[in-house]
Structure 1
Amino acid sequence: MASNHQTSTLTKNRIMLFMLVIGFFCFGHNVQAAATTETKTVLFLNSYHAGYKWSDDIYDGIKSALNTGDQPINLQVEYMDTQRSTDSQYLESLFETYQYKFKNRRYDLIIAADDTALAFLLDYGETLFPGTPVVFCGVNYFDPEMLNQHALFTGVIEGFDIGATLDVARSLHPDTETIYYLVDDTKTGQAIMLEFSELIPRYSDQFNFVRLDGASLDEIINPPPYRPIWSKTRCLWCPLR
């Protein structure tokens, strides 16, 4: 398994490459445009909050990529904080707040990180940012039909193979009996949970599956005496970033 540093580096490198390509198509239409000194303004719409490592790494990668060219870029970030607030009423309130906050702002490009930011822009983007291209990344739950009425949207989706992960777990730890799994309540977490639930019947003769509802990461790593998760050989599968 890669270390956190290795994973972070891979994430940043992938985001940098992705953003360089996007930057070419969005800002490099011709030589004259590339040579202009006019500052382009980019909004990074972050589904989560400052300090959340996954999206912080994406933000760092985007900054590094956009700063490599000659085009002046004004990169702004907006945190939606939807890992801590996820209900529809909150999103509607966020829309109303953004209507006031962004009413006099214009962006050349919006970058949406993760499922919630993309879904929000699909619902409200044309009202908030009419005619503005959107690039999304880190998206799990995706259907091409989502973009049917959104010609200015493009991006990359995350590919993951839960079945292959379980196969590797069995191969590396053949005495594993139980898979403990944990998901969060974000749109991304629920998309992963849906796929995982569909796979459980296929592996029910190999593993017992136990969902850890309401457990914190600290409780999983250092379980209390009444919850001896690691008393026998176990494998924790955790679809969290």
Structure 2
Amino acid sequence: MNMRSRPGLLALAVVLWVLAPTGRPGGNLALAGPPLRVFVAQSYDADYIWCEHINQGLLEALAPLSPVVEFAYLDAKRQPDPESLARQTGHMVERIRQFAPDVVIAVDDPAQHYLVVPYLKDKPGPQVVFCGVNAPLANYGYPAANVSGIRERWHYRDAFALGKRILPAAKTVALIVEDSESGRYVVADLAEELAQNGPFALEVRHVDVVRTESEWRDKIKRYQDEVDILALGLYQSIRRDDGQGVVAPEALMAWTRENNRKPLLGFAGVAIRDGHLFGVLESGQEQGYLAGTMAAAIAAKGIAAGTLPVGLNDQGVVMLNLAAAARLGIDIPFEIIEAAGIVLP
């Protein structure tokens, strides 16, 4: 797998600001006194590739400080019911109390809703840095005196333009996404992007927020004859038809690959694993790195999180799957392959 990446402009700006004179010789980020204590509150689970990539970015950004880092997971994809999330939050709050972090990094929307807003926001400490947030910040009362961070956006416009380049005859696309808090927010982002910046390279013929496995299957089958490209958003919280939890995303996508003959477009890292033809992927590593640089700034300058401006990810990674292209009989131009950040053989 060929991968290329670059630091976001916000990350560079924050790093330069952190390295500005601080009274510490040479701008060295190593802190005097006890090591920085960072508690990472993930909304999902440790095996979810998005969480893995965010953790990698966080640890990379924080490495110069040699911090003590503790991770905790709400498991909101696999156990999305409010009772489970409230119970997991209670455990997390107790762990934070015992760990006594300097900074809490809260990842994705469930962590804001269940943890930060009721327990951490507008408190003297710890400082809070969020990342992976899709909701309008006003929903959480952000930014606050002790809270700032990184918003998340999907690269719809770039992805649809890439689809048009790969398939010049393509005209239409359908987006299917799970019925979850995050799913509804990314759909709202699509509508906002369209309203603010005009038509995409592809006409978005359908946008569906689906709850159950049977709904998912129905949409996949229906759109085989209605659109040129299928864009698959989040699908980790699709409910089983018998009501017994969620469908394993690996099983859902195995069925999808067997029953789909349309090019699949993705926006997140799971597209790498799940056989999508192409995507312009948001980078979990970038989200984590940006949040980590903000935590480093808080530690290096001894400031409140709310004094730092809210940021937005800007790095979209082009992903191509050559095996999927061969299976569909699609010849991807070499110049697109050459410029891609991730090429799966």
For residues 62-113 of structure 1, the C-alpha deviation after alignment (integer angstroms, 9 at most, x for no partner) is: 11221224xx410111111111122322222223333444433311001112
Q: Which residue of 1 aligns with 2:278?
A: none
For residues 39-82 of structure 1, the C-alpha deviation after alignment (integer angstroms, 9 at most, x for no partner) is: 2210011111112112211111211221224xx41011111111
- Unpaired runs of 5+ in structure 1? none
User: Of 53, 58, 62, which aligns to 1:62?
Assistant: 58
User: Of 150, 172, 175, which aligns to 2:144?
Assistant: 150
| Residue 277 of structure 2 is aligned to residue 218 of structure 1 | no
Q: CA 1:236–1:136 in structure 2 vs 1: closer, same or farther (change >3 Å)?
A: same
Q: CA 1:81–1:197 in structure 2 vs 1: closer, same or farther (change >3 Å)?
A: same
Q: Do the aligned residues in 2 keep the contact of 1:132 with 1:152 (CA within 8 Å)?
A: yes
Residue type of the partner of 2:206? F
Q: CA deviation at 1:149?
A: 7.4
Q: CA deviation at 1:153?
A: 0.5
Between 1:208-217 and 1:157-166, the stretch displaced more is: 208-217
Q: Do the aligned residues in 1 keep the contact of 2:132 with 2:151 (CA within 8 Å)?
A: yes
Higher relative contact order (CA 8 A, sep 6+): 2
Aligned length: 221
1: distance between equivalents of 2:178 and 2:157? 20
Q: CA 1:136–1:65 in structure 2 vs 1: closer, same or farther (change >3 Å)?
A: same
1: distance between equivalents of 2:204 and 2:52? 35
- Unpaired runs of 5+ in structure 2? 217-251, 270-345
Q: Please show how residues 96-175 of structure 1 align to structure 2 within 5 Å.
A: 96-126=90-120, 131-144=125-138, 146-147=140-141, 150-175=144-169
Q: Which residue of 2 aligns with 1:47?
A: 43
2: distance between equivalents of 1:47 and 1:105? 19
Residue type of the partner of 1:97? H
Q: CA 1:57–1:19 in structure 2 vs 1: closer, same or farther (change >3 Å)?
A: farther
Residue type of the partner of 2:127? P
For residues 171-209 of structure 1, the C-alpha deviation after alignment (integer angstroms, 9 at most, x for no partner) is: 432322553433234432221123346759x67x94643
Q: CA deviation at 1:239?
A: 4.2
Please provide the CA RMSD for this pair: 3.9
Q: Do the aligned residues in 2 keep the contact of 1:181 with 1:209 (CA within 8 Å)?
A: yes
1: distance between equivalents of 2:68 and 2:153? 30
Q: Which residue of 1 aligns with 2:265?
A: 237
Q: Do the aligned residues in 2 keep the contact of 1:178 with 1:235 (CA within 8 Å)?
A: no
